[in-house]
Amino acid sequence: MKVAVVGATGLVGTKMIELLIERNFPVSTLIPVASERSAGKTLYYKSEEITICTPQQAIDAKPALALFSAGGSTSLQWAPAFAAAGITVIDNSSAWRMDPEKKLVVPEVNGHVLTAEDKIIANPNCSTIQMVLVLKPIHDAFQIRRVVVSTYQSVTGTGVKAVQQLMNERHNLAGEMAYKYPIDLNAIPQIDSFLENGYTKEEMKMMKETCKIMQDDSIKVTATCVRIPTMGGHSESVNIECASPFTLQSVRQLLSNAPGIVVQDDTDNCVYPMPLYSKDKDETFVGRIRLDDTRPNTFNCWIVSDNLRKGAATNAIQIAELLLKKGLIQ
């Protein structure tokens, strides 16, 4: 099928194109899309040089599927136009995630909600995706009441400019700043802008998106999101309180059997998830599973996943694969 990638020159867009090849998605024609200033330039796809086009040119080419990763304003402007032309849009921005008319999907968690009528499908926030993968089997078994999460998020979540800032600082070079402060040898407790309630937009995304994906507004979530000078994946310290009692053995067993999750939890041998080793992997890794002795039916864990893959590009393509399997695109 014809597939458009909107934001094809960005970190996530580039990763989407790589994964279309890697996962053997049935692409007959790739249509790379970028801004007006990039239109007319070229990129390579399967050793073939192809021309980057504008969003309108992509619509005129009539793809069956459009993968969007070009920011919220682009998605708000162009996703409805693609959808109106009968093109299924999977959008990686925050533009449609909390729209009550749009599905917010992690295939392993709530892929069953997709229908033929869904022409704009939202890809969740990267840090939310890896967390709900772990929460889903626990919630099904023990009914989660409350989640307290602190994130340690890679600079790759900001984009190329942030990666360059980190590398410049590592080599003592002057350059453009993606952040207000230095990121190397630092931790910045702000991701996105602050809201009136004192939380950042990133924190509120995690809090709201979790309930929507899990289809349960009774789950209480509170978050603190922090940017740190790592690449390879986002890390999360998560405290999970359940309504029903459990054993750590049962938690580990549930997570070991859950799709998309790898348990790395052997503290005797210092085995636990780390972003350095999650890079370029599609699984979400969980470890440091231990009881919280201060609250009943509560445990802590440490979750790590490659934010450019499962946190963005892989999840979007897995949605497309599910649509294909269900016969909702062709």
Identify the active-site residue in 53, 139, 225, 234: 234
How far apart, in whole angstroms, are the C-alpha atoms of residue 316 and residue 327? 17
DSSP helix/strand/coil, 234 = strand
Measured CA distances, 29 to 42, 48, 132 (Å):
15, 11, 33
How far apart, in whole angstroms, are the C-alpha atoms of residue 23 and residue 16? 10
Where helices occur in the chain by DSSP H, the ranges are 11-22, 55-60, 72-84, 107-110, 126-142, 160-170, 201-214, 248-257, 275-278, 314-325
Identify the active-site residue in 126, 225, 242, 301: 126
Catalytic residue check, 211: no
How far apart, in whole angstroms, are the C-alpha atoms of residue 164 and residue 154? 13
Catalytic residue check, 234: yes
Would you say 66 and 37 are in contact if contact means Cβ atoms under 8 Å apart? no
Nearest Cα to 121, choosing from 137, 135, 110? 110
Q: Is 104 left (phi over 0), alpha (psi -120 to 50) or beta?
A: beta
How far apart, in whole angstroms, are the C-alpha atoms of residue 87 and residue 3? 10
CA 248 vs. chain centroid, Å, equals 27
Catalytic residues: 126, 234
